[in-house]
Chain A
Amino acid sequence: MTPGPGSASNPASTSALDGLDPLLNAPKRLAILAVLSGSSSTDFTFMRDHLKISDSDLSKQAAALEAADYLSIAKRGRGRGALTVYKITRSGRQAYERHRAALRNLLEN
């Protein structure tokens, strides 16, 4: 199991916490990846409305995920009609699925 950029600090650990990604412990960031895991791509407005958070908060959370290479951000168009579109990356999907499996493990054990 290859730890993601935000993975736990003790690589030797084999506990039920393995796979939990500190970056995804924040429900907002986890929810962003959950939405992207079930969509081909998602725009800013849909994501903001789904999470019920402010524009600036979404931008901040998405930037953190982009810095970890968990999602890509594309801008389409210019001016007031410009669209920001998010897409999950391969490493983002892997980290999300690891985190999700670890959560289920925790719940079952």
Chain B
Amino acid sequence: MANDSNTDPLAEQLKAIERGEVAAWVEYPPTSVTWPIAYGVWVAALVAAIGYLGGFVQAGAELVLLLLMGAALGWDRRRRGTYPSGKPPRDLLPAMYKMVAGALVVTAVSYVIGVQVGVWPAAVFAGISAWTVVYFYEREYAAVAARVRARLS
């Protein structure tokens, strides 16, 4: 990239396109191990707020949690220097689908536990399982991103 002259300008331009379009998806500093834990705590707090609190207190707690999530995403965006948008690279789709499926299962099972057993067991289950889902998602995503970077380097 440091030199514009090249024996095959067309190939060079296509490579620049391919690398550039996925850059925001696959070039990022390592995610801290505390991120899945923090996410699990956040989910547990959300379930507890929904199931245990009511009225304005519940609305206030949910607002605080949403603001916290917004602040965390803003921090992550500044840390990365960019944020992906649009269609993700095909390589990353399996990890994303698994994460969405995991989130749906966690939501459904947490709801059943909340109704059948109680709010606190549901919150604990949701927190631990969300932590697990995010941990495995981050791990798979990082492995795929590393493969994509290697392929395009």
What's the Cα separation between A25 and B9 when bound, in Å?
8
What's the Cα separation between A103 and B85 when bound, in Å?
23
Is residue B22 contacting chain A, with contact meaning CB distance below 8 A? yes
Judge whether A43 and B14 touch: CB under 8 Å. no
Contact-size category for B: 20 to 34
Judge whether A33 and B20 touch: CB under 8 Å. yes
Q: 1/0 contact trace for A36-52 toward B, CB 8 Å? A: 01111111011101111
User: How many A-B contacts at CB < 8 Å in the complex?
Assistant: 91
Judge whether A37 and B81 touch: CB under 8 Å. no
Is residue B98 contacting chain A, with contact meaning CB distance below 8 A? no
Instruction: Find chain A residues with CB under 8 A from B14 CB.
Output: 103, 107
What's the Cα separation between A26 and B86 when bound, in Å?
25
Instruction: Find chain A residues with CB under 8 A from B4 CB.
Output: 26-28
* Chain B residues in the interface with A (C-beta under 8 A): 1-2, 4, 6, 9-10, 12-14, 16-25, 27, 80-86
**Can you sample 9 A-B contacts with CB below 8 Å?**
A24-B13, A26-B4, A34-B16, A34-B18, A34-B21, A35-B20, A38-B25, A39-B83, A46-B80
